């Protein structure tokens, strides 16, 4: 009986140990996101963040976005566009300004970050950012990006 238990324990150990070791050594998934600072989508003639953000706010609201927050001093604006009034699915955008280091009182760079948010199974925090196929993401954000670029080009 004792030898049977010892052989059973050894058999379970030899079967379970390699499986556990194999799972512990799985390689991580590759992150294909470029490791670089994002590029500005436009350069704009701008004397103040407040004036430019107020105008960008109008560009966003004209396209159905609701302003979630504005930080005037940091030159940052975030907005949400729900799929419908009762939907938890939404597109979110973060726009921010960086002053031109050569001419900080004359010019600013406009940066944009887009995210798709949807309810996710098991998430208790509400909608979470989800990964989209690049063509779908591009289709959802191109109109807004083009509008922001057109706005920047229309400035004297």
Number of H-type helices and E-type strands within the chain:
3, 6
For residue 133, the model assigns a pLDDT of 83
Sequence-ordered alpha helix ranges (H) in the chain: 2-24, 49-62, 134-154
CATH entry 3.40.640.10 includes domain 37-154: no
**Domain residue ranges of the chain, discontinuous segments joined by +:** 37-154
Mean pLDDT by 10 residues, the chain (156 residues): 66 59 59 82 92 95 96 95 90 94 93 89 81 83 92 86
What pLDDT does residue 35 have?
81
User: Tell me, what's the pLDDT at 15?
Assistant: 62
């Amino acid at each position: 009986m004792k030898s049977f238990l010892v052989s059973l324990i050894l058999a379970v150990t030899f079967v379970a140990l390699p499986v556990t070791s194999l799972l512990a050594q799985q390689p991580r998934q590759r992150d294909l996101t470029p490791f670089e600072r994002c590029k500005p989508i436009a350069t704009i003639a701008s004397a103040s963040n407040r004036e430019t953000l107020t105008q960008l706010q109008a560009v966003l609201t004209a396209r159905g976005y609701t302003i979630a927050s504005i930080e005037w001093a940091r030159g940052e604006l975030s907005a949400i566009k729900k799929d419908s009034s009762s939907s938890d699915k939404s597109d979110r955008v973060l726009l921010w300004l960086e002053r031109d280091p050569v001419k900080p009182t004359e010019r600013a760079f406009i940066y944009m970050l887009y995210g798709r948010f949807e309810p996710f199974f098991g998430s208790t925090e509400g909608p979470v950012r989800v990964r989209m196929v690049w063509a779908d993401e591009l289709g959802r954000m191109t109109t807004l990006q083009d509008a922001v670029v057109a706005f920047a080009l229309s400035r004297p």
